[in-house]
Amino acid sequence: MAFVFKKDMAQHSLDRGIYTIAKEIGDSQIKNKKEQKFLSHVVEDGEKIIAQIMGSMDNTTWLITLTDRQLAFLNKGLISEIKSTSINLENINNVSTKGGMILGEIHFKDGNEDKKIINMAKEAAAKFTEKINETIGSNQSNEEVIENEKYEHAIDEKVDLVFTGKFTDIPNEVITKVAALFNIDESKVKPKLIPNKKATIFEAISLDKASKYGKAITRAGAVCKIARKKQVEAQGDTTKKKQDSADDKKDISKSKLEQSQEEKNKKASGGCLGCLTIIFILFILFSIFSMCSGGGNGKSSSSDKHGAYVACQSFVKQRLKSPSSADFPWGADSSADVGAGKWLINGHVDAKNSFGVDVRTKYSCTVQRSGSSWNLINLQMN
C-alpha cells in the first residue's frame, strides 16, 4: 500500500510503510537495504511512494523507488559515495516485462531511449511493471479529469451569461447543457432574445420547471442559476460532513492499531538490538576482508553476485514445504565466484515446516549464468 513520504517522518512510520510495499511486491530484501536511509536524496517531501524493488541497470545495482512522479534510483556502496538518478514518469512509456525461468526484466523507453532493468525475481518484476503502468495511467486520468472540469466550467459560464442576458450568441454546447439541466429533449430547446429586454429565454422551459433550479428574473421565464448553485453546494457540504465523520472514525481505528503495533515493535526491538549490532560488525569485517583478498578473480560485477543470490533464493523456495513463508536475509552468508560464470552461494532461510513451525534451513547453492538466466548446478539443504 502506497504512503506519503515526509522528510521528518518518524523512523518506525517509514519502516512500516516500506515493509508494507515490500510485502506487496514480494521482494523481502528491500526493507533492510542501506539505501533506505538516503531516500530523501531522491524523493521529495509529499511524494507518494508506491513500490520498491532491487535491480541492475547500466552495470549498477540500485534500490529503485516508484513514486507518483518518478522512478528514483539509489546506490550506496560500503565505502563509495551515494549514487542517484531519476526518470520523470511523464517521459516513461512502453513499459513491459520479460521473464526467464527464474529472473525477470523490465523494459521501457525514457523518451526515445531504450532502458532495461535486470536481475530481479520474475514475479516481483511483473508486479513492479504493473505498478508503473497503473501509476502512469492514473496520472493521465487525473489530467483528463482536470481538462474536463475546465471545459464544463467554461460552458457553465456561458450558460450563466445566456440566462442573465449578457450573451446572445448561443453555442450548441450551451443548448445541450440547458437541455440536460432541465431534463428535456435537446431538439425542443429554442433559444431567443426577448425584444427590448436584457434577458434570454428558452421557449421549451416552463416557468414552473425553471423555478426549481433558480429564480425568474423576467416575466418571460428567464432563469438565474444562483439558487441551483447554492443547492448543489449545500448537497456537497452535507456529503463532505458525512465523509469527514467516516474519515474521523477511520483515523481513530488506525491510531489505535498503530499504537498497538508500536508497542510490539518496541518489545521485539529491545531483545534483537544487541544481536543486530554484532551481525552488522561481523558483516563489515567480512566485507573488508573480501575486498582486501580480491574477492575471487576480482572481475565479477556486483550485479552478477546479486543475480546469483536471487536465483538461489528461487531454487531454494522450490524445495521448501511452505515457499510463501520463506524469509531470506538481505545478503548471503558467503558468496564466491568460482569461474566460468559460476557462483557458490552459502546462506540460510527461515520458513514454516509441515507442522507450521518456523525453522531455519542452511543451504549451499551453485548456479551458472546463461545469457540473462541462471542454471542450477548443485543445491544442498540441511
Q: What is the pLDDT of residue 204?
A: 45
The pTM for the full model equals 0.44
Pairing of strands 191-193, 92-99: unpaired
**Per-residue pLDDT, 203:** 47
The rounded Cα 292 to chain-centroid distance in angstroms is: 40
Distance CA 349, CA 270 (A): 23
pLDDT of residue 23: 86
C-alpha cell at 170: 448561443
Fold category of 3-145 in CATH: PH-domain like (2.30.29)
Grid cell in block for residue 134: 497503473
Per-residue pLDDT of the chain (382 residues; tens, 9 = 90+): 789 999 898 888 888 889 888 888 887 778 778 888 889 999 999 999 999 999 999 999 999 999 999 999 999 877 778 899 999 999 999 999 998 888 999 999 999 999 999 998 999 999 999 999 999 988 776 666 666 666 566 656 655 555 554 545 566 766 677 667 666 676 665 555 444 443 444 544 444 444 444 433 333 333 334 334 444 555 565 555 666 666 666 656 666 666 666 666 655 555 555 556 666 666 666 555 454 444 444 445 677 888 899 999 999 999 998 998 999 998 889 999 998 889 999 999 999 988 888 899 999 999 999 888 899 999 999 8
Please give the CATH architecture assigned to the domain spanning 302-381. Answer: Roll (3.10)
pLDDT, position 226 = 39
- Domains of the chain, by residue range, sit at 3-145, 150-231, 302-381
Beta-carbon contacts of 128 under 8 Å, excluding residues fewer than 6 positions away, are 25, 51, 53, 64, 66, 106, 120
User: Distance of CA 250 to CAs 4, 10, 163, 243, Å?
Assistant: 17, 21, 44, 11
Rounded Cα gap, residues 297 and 210, in angstroms:
86
Identical fold between 3-145 and 302-381: no
